[in-house]
Structure 1
Amino acid sequence: MFQKDDRKAMYILPASTLASLISALIVNPLDVLKVRQQKGSSQECHIHNRPQLNVIQFTNLQQQNKQNVQFKQPLSTANQLTTPSISCSSLNNKLKKQSKQYLNQCSQSPFKQSPQYSYVKSCLCLDKKSLISGIAQIWKMEGIKTFYNGLRYSLYSSTASTVTYFYFYETSTKQIRNRITNHKIYLPLLASVFSRSLTTTLTFPLEYWRTVQQAQIGFTKKTGLQLGNRVFSAYFVTLQRDVIFSSLYWVLAENIRDSLHGFWCNYPQAMSKYSEEHQEYHKSHPANISCRWKFLITNIIAGSVGGGITALLTLPLDVIKTKRQLYEKYSKDSTLQIMRQIVQTDGVSGLYAGARPRIAKVVVACSTVLSLYEYFLGICKSLY
């Protein structure tokens, strides 16, 4: 880090803005998959807008796929339209395989426009465990544009959140170091708790609309209040998740990169990056400027390791946050009540829905933001 300077904000704002924009563009597809996997329980399916089939069309569908389907209402005439009721999650592996074979055979025009194709496609469940399979299913069935649902809000939210967070983190770090403690654990812990609490409160409406838009099936142009008005429906659980995440992440990341940087560049490990001696040491040792790229690598490693561990630990809170934002029925339940309901419905594994995309997203985002922020910070300092 740099010495105390009145122009510190001139470095922080552009560096954090560029880092957050690049990160948001990269990880948005993973965020979409994470929300979609967390959206429903294991009893719910990857339901698309199903066409209504008349009796003749549905009979053909039933014969081709050998599905035992029950109608919600009895049929009276051959031309009556109805919506078949089927639990896709109850289909056995053989039936799922037959459905996929049917899709592959009929994926070319003009069969692609048939009601049978649309109906069978709607009954293929989104893989809730596999990262690659989940991405492939969404890409094939809904198109690549679906991965950029919520991108606008992701850019707004990430930029505002990162800029605000880093500014207050850097500022509070100086104040805590000078007035309270310079301890390598307590210092980042206190600074991150304060900064994240403030940042989450300021950017939460954007977080809500981003999550709701990312949960939509297929690409959507709905924005703002068209997506929902329960903006603060999951505020407290989001605050819990973010504060716990930031406090654990920064304690891990700061200590990992200090240790690696000290090992690779041979400066005393006891010399914390928060100390004024750190900058003076590099001024008196010009050869250590060659460590710039090594410092970039240490930031990537520290961000990846710290982010991955913390993402896994806070995943249950992230699942609860998603459900509170998407389903009004959870609005009056406490965090523990929702957790019990998830365990009763889906088992303990339900609390870890979307684990792979979330961990991948956080690892990429944290390593990207941390490394690019420090890199751009150095560039900005050299320009002034």
Structure 2
Amino acid sequence: MNKLTISNISSNVDLDDPRFRIRPYQQVIASCTGAFITSVFVTPLDVVKIRLQTQQKAMLSNKCFLYCNGLMDHLCPCANGKMPEWMRRNGKFNGTVDALVKISKTEGIISLWSGLSPTLVLAIPATVVYFVSYEQLRLYLKDTYNREFKKRGTSVEQPFWIPVLAGGTARIWAASLVSPLELIRTKMQSQKLSYAEITEALKTVVKYSGISGLWMGLSTTLLRDVPFSAIYWLNYESIKRIFHTSQQTFTFNLAAGAVAGSIAAVFTIPFDVVKTHRQIEMGEKEIYSDKPIRSSNTWSIIQRIYHQNGLRGLFTGLTPRLVKVAPACAIMIATFEHGKRFFQSYNARKANEFEIERNVHLLQHKPSSTE
């Protein structure tokens, strides 16, 4: 009997081996731990990124008259207008480190975790839907694709388009599910608002835009996140394929996730800037105006940012985004892969124990030969 040990499973068996493939509920457990750790770690960086992009948006709104009369203050960044309180206290941020220091001094270090509660509420379901959807869809496409080739007597590895398609599709489902929570988190991080103020803001949005207003900015979120996921999973799976002969340890997964996430973040940062601008406009046009209207479309925002600040404006917040995304992707994928290996070892051990019991049962009930 060829007994499989846990060490053999961890080092020699493909994680996609159908015999020991982990179940969806095991994928859920594997993805939850990383979601919690990542949320706590990256929230301060997310706050800084949002503040930098909010600052840029305020400077772009150059519609001030020679004085502020209290009637048009919500449309212009006047010193005594309705600009965020933190902007008056802190002054202009000159970068990521400067923002971290100033926010900590003037608002307290706890304010760096503004929006953590909706982030946690957002992160768990979003991560579960995202990772489980990705794994299930990737494995389904891979099995279907290989099944067709096996009929012809050949076998192929996973083609590059499978992680691209699976990652993009999974992100659409996850982003659509948590878009209202993403809207709340962006508002809480762009300026210090109480839950009562957030509730009133959401009521105003629903009143004038209907329930669909809670999904404001979803198109730009998808425009950012779908390409990000496609690029990320393509790079991550490619790195795994290139180094398939190496032992893919927790450290390896950390490094691969950080590299893949950084590449994807650079390519998609302009859409992150646009997403932040559109969702902050909920406070400028939909809340303070007597007759709220929908925010500008994606292309007009891109043109306005480029006209005012050039190409550099479209990459505002790139440093905190990279500092946030690289470790976030690293932690998420490393914990997920580690969880997959743990549960695959568990499944293999259970399968091995079942095989032993079955063989013992057959031996015990095998007719004895007396002749």
- What TM-score, normalized by structure 1, do the two folds share? 0.68
The answer to whether the 8 A contact 1:312-1:359 is kept is yes
The answer to whether the 8 A contact 2:235-2:260 is kept is yes
Q: Which residue of 1 aligns with 2:220?
A: 237
Match of 2:134 among 141, 166, 169: 169
Q: Which residue of 2 aligns with 1:327?
A: 281
Q: Which residue of 1 aligns with 2:306?
A: 343
Q: Distance in 2 between matches of 1:120 and 1:383?
A: 51
1:41 aligns with 2:16: no
Q: Distance in 1 between matches of 2:141 and 2:216?
A: 33
Alignment of 1:73-152 (within 5 A): 86=79, 122=88, 124-128=90-94, 130-152=95-117
The answer to whether the 8 A contact 2:281-2:295 is kept is no
Q: Which residue of 1 aligns with 2:232?
A: 249
Q: Distance in 1 between matches of 2:46 and 2:220?
A: 18
1:23 aligns with 2:6: no
Unaligned runs of 5+ in 1: 46-69, 74-84, 88-118, 266-290
Would the alpha carbon gap of residues 178 and 380 (structure 1) be closer, same or farther in structure 2, given more than 3 Å must change?
closer
Task: Quote the RMSD (CA, aligned, Å).
Answer: 2.8
- Give the C-alpha shift of residue 239 in structure 1: 0.9
Alignment of 1:204-219 (within 5 A): 204-217=179-192
SS in 2 for 1:353: coil
Q: Name the aligned partner's letter for residue 99 of structure 2.
A: G
Q: Which residue of 2 aligns with 1:299?
A: 253
Q: Distance in 2 between matches of 1:201 and 1:178?
A: 27
Task: Give me the identity figure in percent.
Answer: 28
- Give the C-alpha shift of residue 307 in structure 1: 0.7
Q: Distance in 2 between matches of 1:131 and 1:332?
A: 27
1:365 aligns with 2:328: yes
- What TM-score, normalized by structure 2, do the two folds share? 0.71
Unaligned runs of 5+ in 2: 1-14, 61-65, 70-77, 147-156, 206-212, 286-292, 348-371
What number of residue pairs does the alignment pair up? 288
Match of 1:315 among 256, 269, 278: 269
Would the alpha carbon gap of residues 172 and 40 (structure 1) be closer, same or farther in structure 2, given more than 3 Å must change?
same
Deviates more, 1:373-382 or 1:150-159: 373-382
Would the alpha carbon gap of residues 71 and 336 (structure 1) be closer, same or farther in structure 2, given more than 3 Å must change?
closer
Would the alpha carbon gap of residues 261 and 136 (structure 1) be closer, same or farther in structure 2, given more than 3 Å must change?
farther
Q: Distance in 2 between matches of 1:367 and 1:319?
A: 23
Q: Distance in 1 between matches of 2:67 and 2:161?
A: 62
Would the alpha carbon gap of residues 124 and 196 (structure 1) be closer, same or farther in structure 2, given more than 3 Å must change?
closer
Would the alpha carbon gap of residues 145 and 352 (structure 1) be closer, same or farther in structure 2, given more than 3 Å must change?
same
- Give the C-alpha shift of residue 195 in structure 1: 1.0
SS in 2 for 1:41: helix
Q: Distance in 2 between matches of 1:311 and 1:169?
A: 19
The answer to whether the 8 A contact 1:12-1:377 is kept is yes
The answer to whether the 8 A contact 2:269-2:318 is kept is yes
- Give the C-alpha shift of residue 257 in structure 1: 2.6
Q: Distance in 2 between matches of 1:183 and 1:378?
A: 19
